[in-house]
Structure 1
């Protein structure tokens, strides 16, 4: 077996492996590091001993991702303000055709996954999103099959109890509401903006203390509208420019001036905008320049 064959097998599965690690860590940059380290370990494996490359590599990257997640736990405990996952820049239609994959990388789901323990998170991702069997998951997380079944059940109940159940928003509705939002915000149309916001719409900002941002979530249509009007006022003055992209399979607004100022993800449900996720920590904006491929 050659090094080229190692690279070929790894590259073929890289979108899936990246997605597993990103959903466990919520960090694009840390996921890149985990995949790099995992490939170095993979390069030393005798391929003649590998029965199922997909399962083997999924277990390998999961173990490395769990190590990284546990190592970063203290940093997250000491984090200033709200902690949000890093935005994941996607090609326009990368996940949209796969409903389960699209939901699994949504900011709302990643925020929910943050409420699980590391083992629960890994087990939930491997089982519910990627459909791996319990035996393979047990190997990945270093637990017995019976324990993994219990962890999976507990994690599934935890997520289902907290996940809001709405009908999936079709692409046409998402485009329409996003365009209406952009027009209202850019022209200073407060009434038009308020008509698009859910009454309990929430603005959650992540700055890590390294940029100006509300340290607690802002809740309510009028309060969130005021935040938006202030932000777009700077654009109208020419200090900032905006661009619409696809992050985490949802519309996202990239705001930049002399440097990238933030990425703002829009969440839509029942015909209204229900959440804005504002990532302003410059450390979490490093990977936004390059679209990633995800897979299942």
Structure 2
């Protein structure tokens, strides 16, 4: 996208982007069309864009031709920028009088370390603005035809991360409480430790035949979905070469993919099971 061919935004009182401001924006789960209009406005106004690894390159093409790009990706098991260095670079750019867009995959405040960056900026006296994005744990599953809530299935959903600051399975998580307390678990960054997570949930009382789905590269052209169960998830994920980035969903809502796999249906395929929960569709109340 060039300045001669800008993206026209509808008339609106768009937020100002003054020099020195750092604007934290969630780019969504991948598909460029899922970027918010406010995010697009910030993208077109920024002098510098500091972006993560999971920000789709097609989104970056919507920047102005003179906008500077800086990569600050963090990927598990790969050489990555240190969080401290990223935060200090944002401070440096702000103090240089740049309009700084910190563009993060998904939502910056959902396992995206946006809260840490925002806190560091505030402590340094840097003005900030935050625009949320569609989180992969909701939008990515929706693209797979899996609603995170369905009133015939769950009255709660819990989001958790598959690793902590050490890169290991989070030691602070109370797995028995999680197993008992939430009908649906949505797990970010869980692929590396999926065997340990599955064992912990099974030991805490979750059924081995409970439906589980893994959505890899959610919303992107290469999206893959594995429907399996908690007891066989680790074996099946390895056998099918499922890779990160991926979202893991555990719970009966996974069965709803049999009815509302809308991407497959757009290609002319009928639903595998219009009533996977066996209760009939509700039409009232």
TM-score when normalising by structure 2: 0.29
More helix per residue: 1 or 2?
A: 1
Greater RCO, 1 or 2 (C-alpha within 8 Å, sep 6+): 1
TM-score when normalising by structure 1: 0.28
